[in-house]
């Protein structure tokens, strides 16, 4: 009996020594400690139209354990596929695997360090990339008729003849007299003979200053041009386009252009978002 008591005492003292030196170990189920709370759903998801690309941007999440974001894409606004996994300090992504004239829908989810993922962002973020070009020069149709017209559906042709059957618009000058002294000035006009309608949407510093084509306010046959102004056009096939006048002279006009190849789609070039 005495021997048994000594063995128990020695074991007790040994246990105290082990706990003192190395601490107490308790077997705890890891699943009970794991964080199961997903991050907040990303907010402010929006898109930026480009030529052969779409930029998706959003506001940053504020979780301390945020691990990153996943960007999702759909072509029917229903079945979304993951197209990119991004770091936590990222708030935009450029999707270049797109085609001009095709509409894409986007969403973003957030993921934390434990693998919890938020729901997809609820915003109706969609975009239709479209072609654009710079520095097109058209001459006065009365002076250089072969280089006075432009066809938005085939912009690679550049300046074409004003009376070409595919010409959407053409450039020309007209002399007008103003004031009591009949001061002679040159007015510059954009003309159309194929039912393209046009609208002056005012002066803009940048080409992306006009987001969407307006619904009303178009004129037929011609519109007067002013340097720095943006003009929105609707061609007979139902496609919207816009030009930004870079330079006007007495002989020619220089402009940048964008053309929405998806008929009836009013999206031209949303301005870049503030981050």
pLDDT digits (tens, 9 = 90+) for 251-270: 999 999 999 888 888 877 54
pLDDT digits (tens, 9 = 90+) for 153-166: 999 899 999 999 99
Is 210 in the same domain as 148?
Answer: yes
Selected residue with higher pLDDT from 234 and 275:
234
Residue 271: the pLDDT is 39
Compute the average pLDDT of residues 227-241.
94
Residue 261: the pLDDT is 86
Is 184 in the same domain as 79?
Answer: no
- The answer to the question of residue 39 being in a domain is no
Is 78 in the same domain as 139?
Answer: no
Residue 126 has phi, psi (to 5 degrees) of: -135, 160
- The answer to the question of residue 40 being in a domain is no
Residue 64: the pLDDT is 94
Q: Specify the pTM.
A: 0.70
CA nearest to 225, candidates 200, 192, 207, 195: 200
Is 55 in the same domain as 81?
Answer: yes
- The answer to the question of residue 265 being in a domain is no
Is 181 in the same domain as 75?
Answer: no
pLDDT digits (tens, 9 = 90+) for 176-215: 655 556 566 778 999 999 999 999 999 999 887 888 899 8
- HEC sequence for the chain: CHHHHHHHHHHHHHHHHHHHHHCCCCCCCHHHHCCCCCCCCCCCCEEEECCCCEEEECCCCCCCCEEEEEEEEECCCCCCEEEEEEECCCCEEEECCCCCCCCEEEEEEEEECCCCECCCCCCCEEECCCCEEEEEEEECCCCCHHHCEECCCCHHHCCECCCCCCCCEEEEEEEEEECCCCEEEEEEEEECCCCCEEEEEEECCCHHHCCECCCCCCEECEEECCCCEEEEEECCCCCEEEEEEEEECCCEEEEEEEECCCCCCCECCCCCCCC
Is 17 in the same domain as 54?
Answer: no
- The answer to the question of residue 267 being in a domain is no
Residue 7 has phi, psi (to 5 degrees) of: -65, -40
- The answer to the question of residue 53 being in a domain is yes
Mean predicted lDDT score pLDDT of the chain: 85
pLDDT digits (tens, 9 = 90+) for 106-149: 999 999 999 999 999 999 999 898 899 999 999 999 999 999 99
Model confidence at 24, in pLDDT bands (50, 70, 90)?
very low
pLDDT digits (tens, 9 = 90+) for 29-64: 555 567 789 999 999 999 988 889 999 999 999 999
Residue 141: the pLDDT is 94
* CA angle at 80 for the pair 98 and 62, rounded to the nearest 5°: 100
Widest Cα–Cα separation across the chain? 133
Q: Is a pLDDT exceeding 50 seen at residue 242? A: yes
Structural domain count of the chain: 3
Is 138 in the same domain as 183?
Answer: yes
- Alpha-carbon gap, residue 77 to 124, rounded angstroms: 9
Which two structure tokens, joined as six digits, stand for 118? 């938020």
Domain of residue 24, residue span: 2-33
CB-based contacts of 129, cutoff 8 Å, min separation 6: 49, 50, 51, 52, 53, 54, 98, 99, 100, 101, 102, 104
Is 94 in the same domain as 164?
Answer: no
Residue 272: the pLDDT is 40
- The answer to the question of residue 73 being in a domain is yes
- Alpha-carbon gap, residue 151 to 163, rounded angstroms: 11
CA nearest to 233, candidates 253, 211, 213, 263: 213
Which one of 97, 127, 157 terminates a domain?
A: 127
- The answer to the question of residue 22 being in a domain is yes
First vs last C-alpha separation in the chain: 80
Is 95 in the same domain as 147?
Answer: no
Q: Count of CB atoms within 10 A of residue 51's CB? A: 13
- Alpha-carbon gap, residue 219 to 232, rounded angstroms: 11
Is 156 in the same domain as 198?
Answer: yes
Is 143 in the same domain as 253?
Answer: yes
pLDDT digits (tens, 9 = 90+) for 90-104: 999 999 999 998 999
Residue 50: the pLDDT is 85
Question: Residue 66 maps to which CATH number?
Answer: 2.60.40.10
- The answer to the question of residue 217 being in a domain is yes
Residue 9: the pLDDT is 52
Residue 29: the pLDDT is 53
Is 242 in the same domain as 145?
Answer: yes
């Amino acid at each position: 009996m005495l021997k048994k008591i000594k063995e128990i005492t020695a074991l007790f003292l040994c246990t105290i020594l082990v706990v003192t030196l190395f601490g107490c170990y308790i077997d705890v189920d890891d699943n009970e400690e794991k964080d199961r709370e997903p991050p907040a759903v990303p907010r402010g998801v929006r898109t930026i139209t480009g030529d052969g690309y779409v930029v998706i941007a959003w506001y940053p999440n504020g979780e301390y354990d945020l691990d990153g974001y996943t960007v999702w894409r759909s072509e029917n606004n229903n079945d979304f596929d993951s197209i990119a996994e991004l770091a936590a300090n990222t708030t935009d992504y450029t999707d270049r695997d797109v085609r001009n004239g095709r509409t894409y829908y986007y969403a973003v989810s957030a993921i934390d360090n434990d693998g919890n993922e938020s729901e997809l962002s609820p915003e109706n973020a969609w975009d239709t990339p479209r072609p654009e070009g710079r520095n097109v020069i058209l001459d006065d149709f009365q002076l250089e008729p072969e280089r006075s017209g432009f066809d938005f559906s085939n912009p690679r042709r550049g300046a074409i003849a004003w009376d070409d059957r595919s010409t959407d618009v053409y450039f020309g000058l007209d002399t007008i007299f103003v004031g009591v002294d009949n001061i002679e000035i040159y007015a510059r006009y954009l003309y159309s003979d194929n039912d393209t309608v046009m609208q002056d949407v005012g002066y803009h510093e940048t080409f992306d200053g006009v987001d969407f084509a307006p619904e009303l306010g178009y004129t037929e046959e011609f519109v007067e041009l002013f340097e720095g102004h943006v003009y929105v056009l609707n061609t007979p096939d139902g496609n919207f386009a816009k030009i930004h006048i870079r330079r006007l002279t007495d002989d020619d006009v220089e402009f940048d252009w964008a053309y929405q190849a998806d008929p009836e789609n009013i999206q031209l070039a949303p301005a870049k978002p503030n981050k």
